[in-house]
Structure 1
Amino acid sequence: MEITLTGRDGGGNERIPMCGVPYHSAQSYIEKLIQKGYKVAICEQVEDPSVAKGVVKREVVRVITPGTIIEENMLVEQENNFLLVITETEGSYALVASDLSTGECHLTEINHSLDFLLDEISTYAPKEVVLDQHLFHQQQLVQSLKMRIKAVVTPFSLENLDEEVLQQQFSRYTQICTTQVRKQGLALLYAYLKQTQKRSLGHLHRLQYYDAKQFMMLDDVARRNLELTLTLGEGKKRGSLLWMLDRTATAMGSRLLKKWLDKPLLSIPEIQQRQDIVAAFLEDFLFLEEMHDLLKQVYDLERLATRIAYGSANARDLNAVKRSLQVIPSLKELLKSSSCQHLQKIEKWLDDCHDICELIGQAIVDEPPITTKEGGIIREGFHQKLDEIREIQKNGKNWIAQLEQKERAATGIKSLKIGYNRVFGYYIEVTKSNLRNIPEGRYIRKQTLANAERFITPELKEKEQLILNASEKSVELEYDLFVQVRNHISREVQRIQSVAEWVASLDVLHAFAKVAKTYRYVRPIVHQQDHLLIEAGRHPVVEAVSEESSFVANDVKLNAQDRQILLITGPNMAGKSTYMRQVALITILAQIGSFVPADHAEIALVDRIFTRIGAADDLVGGRSTFMVEMVETCHALKEATPRSLILLDEVGRGTSTYDGMALAHAIVEYIHHHVQAKTLFSTHYHELTRLEEELTRVFNVHAECREEDGKVVFLHRIVPGGADRSYGIHVAELAGLPKEVTHRAREILQELESGQAEVAATSLAASSTTLLQKPEGTQLTLFDYLSQDEVKKIEENPKSSAEQEVLEAIRSCDLMNQTPLDTMQFLLKLQQKLK
């Protein structure tokens, strides 16, 4: 930690090493420890040293953990800091997510696989996961939490479940906790927070239950590949969908926007309600701007409420609450003027908290100090006794000033002054050159300095006692009054949190409207049917960062009848991945209630989005790039439903050509026959384009480009049909590869393309996977697995001994009486020879 070690003499030659930090700088060291995943116990004196007998009693007053931070300087304004609790009973998991800094508490019960549980956990990006002690032996769960979720994992056990305490803490406990596992999960959270925080959790009452199946599921792979909140390369917010959408005016709105992105809706009425509000903002530009001007005056009420409830808020925090609440009446008037019924309802539900605002205004001065124990906080006129004590202070100081003038006149010493310090109190100071002018016996000498003498008088000491007593009483009384005001407001924290929720929702929807206005978004039609139609769709982020150049819009049409799978071919850099991602992002935007970048959009509700995009290995987990690719593809094939959206980009490229092509072919077939999810399948295996003829719901499209003067021009348009070339060498030239390399590559490519063995082997590999589907006893001919043209070419001009050997094998084999299994084994042998 780079703390300088000190020491203390232990007697003799022994020196005891010590490690300490100044109290005023402890926060930075605590922050450093928390970032490293440690927990920090804060110990303080709990007795007044002036009255304690013997050693002053000390106790642990709080344990700070990565998931229980409330300190403003240790939190990111726009992000939640979630603590998750997980327990399990009879095969059901309870997941409780709490952000202590905002007072949120979300609970769900999961009866699905461990993978589903981990997907749900990842949506919260928790800093700490408290695991029920009996789950700690589940190594797969523990390792996934540490390696995949990258959270601090804390084992914790519950001694007893006190439902009466939980009912007092959470007003909706009885309605929500209807199963044992839910009760256990909430009790575990409460017990852990009481043990670590050791104070009231009055602000933690907003218990909300949700069914994870009520939202679109986005696992961490999908969120990463689609760059929902962070970019792939640098892991920064800029360049992500969240960055593009975040036109919010408050920190609360920014946090809520991220939560909406993590959990898109599956309820059409809720989506349409959000769309109605966005439309209302868009209809009136002045209304939209006035809303922004009001919202940006609102401070982070969620976290201010938490500090008030915790007893850590200072006077400036209370003033921030007051200034925020002073905006609410104007906000209500603006909402009332809207023709949107949803906004009018919000206006009625919004509490302006007038009494809280008035109390703070009466009690706290406009510009209070940061500290709460040095006075200067309470406004004059708020408390009669405090005003009286202040008057004594004021009169005492006036008396001191008058005494100074009186003594100057009596002694004739114009430089005489009355000063004060904490050691000697008030004193009269006379320079040595003027000592002879002091009448004998007038003063009592107190201190000698190099150039002056300091004196006191009985009268001065008597007045000093009155002034100092008044000052001390004033500071003590001010602090007591401030605590009373803060405690009173802490009992109204629920009302402040309710205001914060409505303001945050308005803020996100107003941000949607600002984005829609800036980039000409349209309102999508969201429905329960099976078709997805986007006309002139655009990638929202790419369009936003490349404003100077016009983005090439593309259409997409998917349905369950004849366009379930779009097989996308075309060269690198032609826009295939952008096209795939924009379909997913437009779907997500539609299901969070936003307008979308398109001329027209009809979006069928999607329950999950699966992605397999890009090449990345998992060195720590011991998985190669290809293994990661297969694991992610497996996850999609197992978990997807007909209502899901699958994006598969270049599946199979991590292994040999034949292996990769065979896998890609089989995966497309499996999705077509079994999964039946809407799928965008990008590939460089042009041979797969013939699947359009074999599978009824596969449709070919390709990224259009043209060749001019030996150079490829990317048009970034996705058009029907399959591509016949990948233009990989052209892309290599654009990357700056030496001309010798690209020239030689063209020669090799020409040789490969002219080799008939390659053609025959490719055809065998592509068709062999379908042979097992033929029934026993089916009469097969040579042309069931090899085209007449290909056989004819080999017969006319066998180029190698291997081809001649294959031809002999084909001629000598009696295929008329072979079973599909025998035939496939024969084909595999031929394929091996051709290789």
Structure 2
Amino acid sequence: MAIEKISPGMQQYLDIKAKHPDAFLLFRMGDFYELFYEDAVEAAQILELTLTSRNKNAENPIPMAGVPYHAAQQYIDTLVELGHKVAIAEQVEDPKMAVGVVKREVVQIITPGTMTDSSKLGSESNFLVAMDRQGLRYALSYMDVATGQFYVTSLEDFSSLCGEIRNLRAREVVVGSPLSEEEETVLTRQMNLLLSFEEEVLDDVHLIDASLTELEKQTAGKLLSYLKRTQLRDLVHLQKVIHYEIKDYLQMDYATKASLDLLENGRTGKKHGSLYWLLDETKTAMGIRLLRSWIDRPLIDKERIEARQEVVAVFLNYFFERSDLVESLKGVYDIERLASRVSFGKTTPKDLLQLAQTLANVPAIKGILQQMEQPALSSLVANLDPIPELHALISSAIDPEAQATITEGNIIRSGFDATLDQYRLVMREGTGWIAEIETKERAASGITNLKIDYNKKDGYYFHVTNSNLGNVPTHFFRKATLKNSERYGTEELAKIEGQMLEARDKSSNLEYEIFMRIRQEVEKYISRLQKLARTIATVDVLQSFAALAEQERWIRPVFTQHRDLSIKDGRHAVVEKVMGRQTYIPNSIYLDNKTNMQLITGPNMSGKSTYMRQLAVIVILAQMGSYVPAEEAELPIFDAIFTRIGAADDLVSGQSTFMVEMMEANKAVRLATESSLILFDELGRGTATYDGMALAQSIIEYIHDKIGAKTLFATHYHELTELSQTLEHLENVHVSTLEKDGQVTFLHKIAPGPADKSYGIHVAKIAGMPDSLLARADSILQSLENQGQHYQAPRQPIQENGQLDLFASPHPVVEELGKLDLYNMTPMEAMQVLAELQKKLGSDSV
């Protein structure tokens, strides 16, 4: 299409679109946001919009689709949820005052990492991450744009960087340096991240501390630069960047957190059935976010852990006060996000009323804590700032019945502004004043049908018919002449009319101006509101811990300086909650300074994995500062938890179950220290028996000899139980079973020593396998045990009525196979022997 044929409006669209080629451009036109060209075609398909066209009669009509501006948020949410960017182009001048095309500008770019208004976010954090590199070192900075929380750290390699991004559950990464093709593939295809590139560094001395490394300052600065470029406003709610070290918290990679069902149920992907689900007795949105953060990053600082425990202990001892505290917390709104809405310029009267209600609750919360008179609460009490002057301002200014919109009036309280009160008086009383004038002039003139009417052209006027023109008073002046009547005005009527029209036109504008002044005043309190929000969130999470400890009869764990671990009658908190306390079987775990490793044997489905997860969950709860599900618990402080539990392919990266197993095991043996906790379940089962057994044994020996970490190692390789004779710090334990009359009951109880059998066929029976299949499996098992485990049974058909006893008289080839010493044969010798045996089988069958 030739450029001269494009209208000025479409040229404006194309100019703006050229600056934002990677975003859907929502172009404000009247009451709609319109999309054109490829944006319209793609958005119509994604959002199920009607695709129309502009200039339908032209040779090349322009594809067009639109959404109503008042309902645009739901469409924006959908696009951003799918990983797209959306640029919002608004009219930035009054169409009535515009000369030519109304001026439009992009006022915000909404991206997966900067989305703050979506209802789909709920109360969870949405982190925007930035990464940069200098030589072999990486830095990572992240921010929750909705709350202004801002962090930065350094990382040693790309793998650690990806692990932290996974832990943050980020959806968008701002990239500050070139990526290799392999790195880009990992980030985009395997991790499904939107990559946004940023070269500019915003050096904000108020937000970025000079004590950071150059790379950390650079990374945080690029994150701020990207944020400024997309949000296009001063974000006064952003908090000063906090430097953190991953090693300052209990380290757990994404796979470990997933296998332990910490934040979501690994099977369903839902909150239900996770540790987060169990612990969430919080009453505020801020408490929910902080709880997730604490689950994600348990502490390793004994002093900080015990400070949290002290508060939980106080709350447990003051039942009635805690009940009052919970009621007070129910009236607290998400002031952390309300503060950000002020910064974004999106505050509504409803937001300010919620803020005022929260501030009104703070004195009650503070008073309840003060009643307890406990030193453990002193810092919390000190930081509960009710900001009385802000509460007074909002309460006196905002009408309790205010609407959500800020341009249609009725949002400011009467009595707050004298001019506004006068406007309202005029609007309220004006009609009565006009009626009084009408009555007065009718009596004075003697015109019995004299009345006052109104239209937009003439305003308010006296309507006088031609027959009464002789009685018109001299102070009347003509406004219009009609065929059968005249329209007159008076100075008094004009004055009232002017007041009413001014009140009508200016009242809503004045309310808007007053509201904007109040919002600017609220901005001054953002840092105090954020500090208050953090304090309320802390109180909320710790009262949640107390509620769980009371409801579930949890106890306060004790932390030791030595490395002994002692848990009496521990329980898996989530499993117990789902099953019910009466049916859950508790287990004790003892790993003293002479025992670092338990080798766990026993049947599948008997509770080995639950036993292992139980320990991890108790450790995590303890290092969060919570009480734990046990009768007694004495623990060292762990620096990391490494797990390999469950079987899963990583199909996106093309890795098999066994490869995932080996990668997770490799991470543990390379990164674990003496102060770590390692949980390995059935390691080695993803490959051939001897390969798997050899790897399992060598891993056990490596951890035992070179690392010394506390380790639970569950295995189906019963041969490995012999290691207890040669490894000083390893002990055998097994899951008890009760066998009677051929029926097996799994007791879910851990006992000393190795298991005597695996009971796999019994598990298959419980799963409902056909009787004939189970009978055949039992027969094969007996033959394998009789012949030696090098034997591989030939496949035989299964018959419903009885079975064939293939092994009544063993085949000579079978006897020879049983005598082979495979361990002392080379691969070539084994192949030659197998070839000879195959020939014998062939000759026998002829």
Q: Which residue of 2 aligns with 1:41?
A: 87
Question: 1:636, CA displacement in angstroms?
Answer: 1.8
User: Structure 2: where are the runs of 5+ without partners?
Assistant: 1-46, 473-477, 794-808, 838-846
CA distance in 2 between partners of 1:492 and 1:564 (Å): 53
In the TM superposition, what is the alpha-carbon distance from 1:693 to its structure 2 partner?
A: 1.0
Give per-residue Cα distances to partners, 1:192-251, cap 9 Å, x unaligned: 011001101111023211111110111110011000011111100011000000100100
> Does the 8 Å CA contact 1:87/1:132 hold for their aligned counterparts?
yes
CA distance in 1, matches of 2:453, 2:98: 37
Q: Distance in 1 between matches of 2:363 and 2:388?
A: 9
Find the partner of 1:87 among 132, 150, 156. Answer: 132
Check conservation: 2:462, 2:489, Cα contact below 8 A: no
1:480 aligns with 2:513: yes
Q: Quick one: which of 192, 197, 221 aligns to 1:150? A: 192
Which residue is 2:762 aligned to? 730
3-state SS of the aligned residue for 1:19?
strand
Does residue 114 of the first structure (1) align with residue 158 of the second (2)?
yes
CA contact 1:412–1:437 (8 Å) conserved in 2: no
Deviation at 1:656, TM superposition (A): 2.3
- Between the aligned partners of 2:409 and 2:485, the Cα distance in structure 1 is 30
Distance 1:413 1:220, change over 3 A: farther
Alignment of 1:212-227 (within 5 A): 212-227=246-261
CA contact (8 A) 2:601 2:714 kept: yes
The 2-side partners of 1:262 and 1:579 are apart by 21
Change (3 A) 1:444 1:47: closer
Determine if the alignment matches structure 1 residue 5 to structure 2 residue 47: no
Q: 597, 606, 621: which one pairs with 1:574?
A: 606
d(CA) in 2 for partners of 1:428, 1:566: 101
Distance 1:321 1:664, change over 3 A: same
2:26 maps to none
Of 101, 105, 125, which aligns to 2:169? Answer: 125
Q: Does 1:21 align with 2:67?
A: yes
Change (3 A) 1:596 1:186: same
Q: 1:69 to 1:806 in 2, by over 3 A?
A: closer
| Aligned match of 2:782 | 750
1:236–1:424: structure 2 CA closer, same or farther, 3 Å change rule?
A: farther
Give runs of aligned pairs for residues 756-771 of structure 1, distance below 5 A: 756=788, 758=790
After superposition, where does 1:117-516 map in structure 2 within 5 Å?
117-134=161-178, 136-137=179-180, 139-158=181-200, 161=201, 163=203, 166-168=204-206, 170=207, 173-174=209-210, 176-177=211-212, 179-400=213-434, 402=436, 458=489, 463-516=496-549
For 2:704, the equivalent position in structure 1 comes to: 672
Query: Contact 2:285 / 2:334 at 8 angstroms: preserved in 1?
Result: yes
Which of 723, 726, 738 does residue 694 from structure 1 map onto? 726
Once the two structures are TM-superposed, the CA of residue 7 in structure 1 deviates from its matched residue by 2.2
Q: How far has the Cα of 1:754 moved from its partner? A: 0.8
Whole-angstrom distance in 1 between the partners of 2:505 and 2:95: 18
Letter paired with 2:374: C
Return the offset for 1:30.
0.7
Shift of 1:338: 2.0
* Aligned-partner Cα distance in 2 for 1:537–1:5: 62
Structure 1 CA distance for aligned equivalents of residues 760 and 176 of structure 2: 53
Asked whether 1:55 is paired with 2:109, we answer: no
- Shift of residue 399, structure 1, vs aligned partner: 2.4
TM-score normalized by the length of structure 2: 0.84
Residue 750 of structure 2 aligns to a residue whose secondary structure is strand
Alpha-carbon distance, 1:397 to partner? 2.8
* Alignment CA distance shift 1:513-1:805 (3 Å): closer
Distance 1:401 1:149 in 2: 73
- Post-superposition offset of 1:439: 9.8
Q: Equivalent residues in 2 for 1:616-631 (5 A)?
A: 616-631=648-663
2:692 counterpart (654, 660, 675):
660
In the other structure, the counterpart of 1:820 is: none
TM-score (norm 1): 0.85
Flag the 1:511–1:408 CA change in 2: closer, same or farther, 3 A: farther
For the residues of structure 1 that align with 2:463 and 2:764, how far apart are their CA atoms? 88
3-state DSSP class of the match of 2:368?
A: helix
Structure 2 Cα separation of the partners of residues 241 and 235 of structure 1: 13
- Aligned partner of 2:89: which letter? C
- Taking a change above 3 Å as real, the CA distance of residues 297 and 152 of structure 1, as seen in their structure-2 partners, is same
Letter in 2 for 1:633: A
Percent of matched pairs sharing the same residue: 42
Cα distance in 2 between the residues matched to 1:519 and 1:306: 37
How far residue 403 of structure 1 moved from its aligned partner, in angstroms, is: 6.4
Cα pair 1:568 1:702 within 8 Å, conserved: yes
Deviation at 1:26, TM superposition (A): 1.2
**2:797 counterpart residue number:** none
Residue 626 of structure 1 aligns with an amino acid whose one-letter code is F
- Deviation of residue 455 (structure 1)? 11
Give the whole-Å Cα distance in 1 for the aligned partners of 2:778 and 2:482: 99
Q: CA deviation at 1:75?
A: 2.5
- Pairwise CA distance, 1:350: 2.3
Matched residues in 2 for 1:61 and 1:76: separation?
24
Change (3 A) 1:807 1:81: closer
1:722 deviation in Å? 0.7
Cα distance in 2 for residues equivalent to 1:357 and 1:220: 43
Question: Counterpart in 2 of 1:549?
Answer: 582
RMSD across aligned positions (CA)? 3.3
Question: Aligned pairs, how many?
Answer: 765
Cα 1:688/1:403, change in 2 over 3 Å:
farther
- 2: CA distance, partners of 1:401 / 1:546: 76
Contact (CA 8 Å) 1:119, 1:218: kept in 2 or not?
A: no
**1:502-540 Cα deviation digits (max 9, x unpaired):** 000111111000000000100001234222211100000
CA deviation digits over 1:49-105, x for unaligned, max 9?
33333222211111111111121535222x101001111223322211100101100
Q: Deviations over 1:258-311 (max 9, x none)?
A: 001111101000000000000000011112111111111110010000001221
Q: 1:436 to 1:696 in 2, by over 3 A?
A: farther
CA distance in 2 between counterparts of 1:760 and 1:669 reads 30
1:12–1:212 distance in 2 versus 1, CA, 3 Å: closer
**Alignment CA distance shift 1:710-1:440 (3 Å):** farther
Q: Deviations over 1:379-433 (max 9, x none)?
A: 112112222222222231322455687899999899x99788x899779999xxx
Q: 2:55 aligns to what SS in structure 1? A: strand
3-state SS, counterpart of residue 533 of structure 1: strand
Which range moved further: 122-131 or 534-543? Answer: 122-131
User: Match for residue 36 of structure 2?
Assistant: none
CA distance in 2, matches of 1:293, 1:490: 29
Q: In structure 2, what residue type is equivalent to 1:743? A: A
Q: After the TM superposition, which of the residue ranges 439-448 and 7-16 deviates more from structure 2?
A: 439-448
Q: Secondary structure at the match of 1:326?
A: helix
